[in-house]
Amino acid sequence: MTTPDYVPGHGLLRGKSVLITAAAGAGIGYSAALRAAEEGCRALMISDIHEGRLAEAAARIREASGLQAVYSQPCNVTDEAQVQALVAAAERDLGGVDVLINNAGLGGSRLLVEMSDEEWHRVLDVTLTGTMRMTRAMLPKMIERARGVIVNNASVLGWRAQKEQSHYAAAKAGVMALTRCAAVEAAEHGIRINAVSPSIALHDFLKKSAPRELLDQLASREAFGRAAEVWEVANVMMFLASDYSSYMTGEVLSVSSQRA
């Protein structure tokens, strides 16, 4: 089935400021950043561990969207000092963060019996603990203002089983649980926390990190017979970040048609 036409912006984030992690390159994070600009956000900060790609991504977003208030700040979410520096910079440059999108994650393929402690901890540290660190650092700022939205990037592997994905699946299941528990704590302060759960969304990094045969097999199991475009996942993030989802919190939305 052919890919649908790209959906134009509808002003869903008009007047809001947005901070997004892991937003350099061609993946879901970059697409979410571009979509946020197209949806009318007043200011945007993107972050990534790749400094060169980060600056290029910010420039591309300015050119493509016309939004000039696009800032960038390198950050490794496994480093608490860098996380705190990112939040401080975003609060300063954006005049307060209205929306945080936690997109940073790390995958890999390894049979559990062959997996080292280092591999396990690295995936969990970036994907789960990194999401926790960013949420922990951002919540006090949002609590002071009694408003804010956090959107986390989970995965259908948090629900489903796949060979060689024990570390990644455990991390994403953790992101889902973190989303639900943090949402309950944040709700009394007027803050919403939700997550998206993509199945397979093709981008350059994924194509390099997984065999083409496996990607084709996973895509063929989708109801539409294709993988998602990254912007299709980003669209759901925009919905969760917007006032259209004002009564949703602690939810994990599957951006997937995958049949188990």
The CA-based angle 90-91-93, given to 5 degrees, is: 60
- Residue 168 appears among annotated catalytic residues: yes
Residue 124 has pLDDT above 90, yes or no: yes
Residue 54: count other Cβ atoms within 10 Å of its Cβ: 22
Nearest by Cα to 203 from 141, 153, 144, 138: 153
User: What pLDDT, on the 0 to 100 scale, is given for residue 260?
Assistant: 44
Residue 208 has pLDDT above 80, yes or no: no
Give the mean pLDDT of 108-123: 97
List, for residues 166-203, the tens digit of each pLDDT value. 999 999 999 999 999 999 999 999 999 999 999 887 66
SS3 101: strand
The predicted model scores a pTM of 0.94
Residue 207: count other Cβ atoms within 10 Å of its Cβ: 12
Give the mean pLDDT of 140-145: 98
Residue 68 has pLDDT above 60, yes or no: yes
Of residues 146 and 212, which shows the higher confidence score?
A: 146
Percent of the chain residues topping a pLDDT of 90? 83
Give the mean pLDDT of 107-125: 97
User: What pLDDT, on the 0 to 100 scale, is given for residue 217?
Assistant: 75
List the 191-198 sheet strands across, edge first.
70-74, 43-48, 17-20, 99-102, 148-153, 191-198, 252-255
Residue 205 has pLDDT above 70, yes or no: no
User: What pLDDT, on the 0 to 100 scale, is given for residue 134?
Assistant: 98
- Under the banding of pLDDT at 50, 70 and 90, the label for residue 219 is confident
What does the mean pLDDT of the chain come to? 93
Give the mean pLDDT of 15-25: 96
Contact between 70 and 62 under an 8 Å Cβ cutoff? The reply is yes
Nearest by Cα to 121 from 108, 136, 137: 108
Catalytic residue among 6, 30, 71, 168: 168
User: What pLDDT, on the 0 to 100 scale, is given for residue 147?
Assistant: 98
Give the mean pLDDT of 67-71: 98
Of residues 125 and 212, which shows the higher confidence score?
A: 125
- Under the banding of pLDDT at 50, 70 and 90, the label for residue 209 is low
- Under the banding of pLDDT at 50, 70 and 90, the label for residue 3 is confident
Give the mean pLDDT of 85-96: 98
- Under the banding of pLDDT at 50, 70 and 90, the label for residue 121 is very high
